[in-house]
Amino acid sequence: MAKTWLITGTSTGLGRLLTERLLERGDRVVATLRRHGSLDDLLAKHGERLYVVNFDVTDTQAMRKGVAHAFAAFGRIDVVVSNAGYGVFGAAEEATDEQIERQIATNLTGSIQLIRAVLPHLREQGGGRIVQVSSEGGQIAYPCFSLYHASKWGIEGFVESVAQEVAPFGIDFILAEPGPTATQFSEALDRTHPMPVYEETPAGETRRALASGAFAIKGDAVKTVSRLIDTADLPSAPFRLALGSTAYHSISQALTQRMNELEANKPLTLAADKDAFIE
């Protein structure tokens, strides 16, 4: 049975591929993007099954209007994919205030406001599914990506809370966490101006690895999108979906380390309770 999807950030990368694959299999897609004309080829090919809405996720009022128009046009939207985002690359000290504000406004606040915009419509139609495209970087961290990680760790915490709030309305979430994937992500990075003092630090090492190609990008974009669609089609989907071997190994290692640290500090941790509650 054909579904209707709303997807943000569809001009390039995973959003574009996702839109293409869904239209090819006969689904309907509301595709949002900032640049006019980016999906004209798909409009010509798929006609009324593709509805394009232009807005920037940092413009909350325009986004709310676009979401309302999308639900009005298609009546029901089964899956909402919050995909729009990018990365600031460089040591935290190097970033400008404007780079910080735009990163948070796009990846974190923009995703929060999209979810808030669709929730009333999903409640009214009796439920639906929201896929938040996060990253392995929502659970682990690399040098030079501190602002990107702040946005992804932040949206994962937001989704964990909201998922509990709206479950009684038949609304569920998938947090998709791809590892490094062959898309235009690295080319679109907003790079800071390097400070020489960071040259011989982990930040400098990461910068050189990305420039030389030593930073391994194992994820296949087409396979990533296919696995995401497969998961979103499941009647009961996992809350978190790591995508790619890098994501699996890095997240596994990080979770194991956290559990080891938690257990190692157990006496100190429990000793912070009131006396009546100390085990």
Domain ranges of the chain: 4-277
Separation of alpha carbons 215 and 227, rounded Å: 23
Mean pLDDT of 155-180: 97
Could you tell me the fold of the domain covering 4-277? Rossmann fold (3.40.50)
**pTM of structure:** 0.94
Contact predicate 190/151, CB 8 Å? no
159, pLDDT greater than 70? yes
Per-residue pLDDT band for 174 (boundaries 50, 70, 90) equals very high
Which residues are identified as catalytic? Answer: 134, 148, 152
User: What mean pLDDT, rounded, does the chain reach?
Assistant: 94
155, pLDDT greater than 70? yes
Mean pLDDT of 155-162: 98
Higher pLDDT, 274 or 29: 29
pLDDT tens for 209-236 read 988 888 888 889 999 999 999 999 999 9
Mean pLDDT of 158-172: 98
3-state SS of 177-225 is EECCECCCCCCCCEECCCCHHHCCCHHHHHHHHHHHCCCCCCECHHHHH
H-type alpha helices, 25-129: 40-46, 60-74, 97-103, 110-124
Task: Give rounded-to-5 percent helix, strand, coil for the chain.
Answer: 55, 15, 30
Q: Classify 71 as helix, strand or coil.
A: helix
pLDDT at 184: 77
Which secondary-structure segment (H or E) carries 148? helix 146-166
pLDDT at 217: 82
